[in-house]
């Protein structure tokens, strides 16, 4: 039976615990983690945090659904019109490559407007599709990854983006 990637929504700050339990139960999963500098009153420390708060990706078949949803800390699978949303393999691979490289590069925001559908054509996130939500300063682009209705701030040159379409107002869903 064919396995596909799905996004699951977890309780707040439970992503690492959920991923660990899924691994212990033999369920293939992916929790993209990035290193960030956190500051406390007495020290600074690099810590690993989830790239997407409250989300873990699982690669399962239909038979593994009920076994997966019973893992403590999982709230629900991401659905659209009551159907599970499949996350394409190429998007998982693009996220993996981005996390591995951790690249931060400068943007050129000419000719790119908010609402355009874009595809990353170069770099660690190559192949990722999303909607250009905002251009922030000189280095950050805010892109919404539609399959999980989450936004991702990435540092990428505008030359690494390709416009693939216009926003269709009728298709925009508000959650």
Q: How far apart are CA 29 and CA 142, in angstroms?
A: 25
What confidence score (pLDDT) does residue 1 get? 82
Lowest mean pLDDT among 26-35, 116-125, 133-142: 133-142
| β 140-145/129-136 pair status | antiparallel
* Confidence tier at 155 by pLDDT (50, 70, 90): low
Q: What's the whole-model pTM score?
A: 0.64
Q: How far apart are CA 23 and CA 15, in angstroms?
A: 12
- Residue 113 zone, left/alpha/beta (φ > 0; ψ -120 to 50; rest): beta
Tokens matching residue 24? 């212990």
Lowest mean pLDDT among 39-43, 112-116, 147-151: 147-151
* Domains present along the chain, CATH in parentheses: 4-87 (3.30.70.940), 117-169 (2.30.30.30)
What confidence score (pLDDT) does residue 115 get? 81
pLDDT above 50: residue 59: yes
- Taken in order 115, 116, 119, 121, the sign of the CA dihedral is negative
The mean pLDDT of the chain is: 81
Percentage, residues of the chain above pLDDT 70: 79
What is the residue-wise DSSP string for the chain? Answer: ---EEEEEEESTT-HHHHHHHHHHTT-EEE--EEEEEEE-SS-EEEEEEESSTTEEEEEE-GGGHHHHHTSTTEEEE-EETTEEPEEPHHHHHHHHHHHHH--------TT--TT-EEEE-SSTTTT-EEEEEEEETTTEEEEEETTTTEEEEEE--GGGEEEEE---GGG----
What confidence score (pLDDT) does residue 74 get? 96
What confidence score (pLDDT) does residue 147 get? 66
Q: How far apart are CA 166 and CA 164, in angstroms?
A: 7
Lowest mean pLDDT among 47-51, 56-60, 77-81, 142-146: 142-146
- Give mean pLDDT, residues 2-17: 95
What confidence score (pLDDT) does residue 139 get? 55
């Amino acid at each position: 039976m064919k396995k596909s990637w799905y996004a699951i929504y977890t309780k707040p700050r439970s992503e690492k615990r959920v991923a660990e339990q899924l691994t212990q139960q033999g369920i293939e999963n992916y929790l993209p983690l990035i290193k960030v500098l956190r500051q406390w009153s007495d020290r600074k420390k690099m810590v690993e945090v989830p790239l997407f708060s409250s989300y873990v990706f699982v690669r399962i078949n239909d038979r593994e659904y009920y076994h997966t949803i019973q893992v403590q800390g999982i709230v629900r699978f991401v659905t659209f019109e009551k159907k599970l949303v499949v996350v394409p393999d190429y998007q998982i691979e693009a996220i993996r490559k981005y996390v591995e490289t951790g690249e931060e590069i400068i943007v050129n925001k000419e000719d790119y407007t908010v609402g355009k559908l874009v595809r990353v054509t170069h770099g660690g996130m190559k192949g990722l599709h999303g909607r250009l939500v905002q251009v922030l300063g000189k280095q950050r682009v805010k892109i919404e990854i539609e399959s999980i209705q989450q936004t991702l701030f990435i540092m990428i040159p505008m030359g690494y983006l390709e416009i693939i379409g216009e926003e269709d107002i009728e298709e925009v869903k508000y959650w």
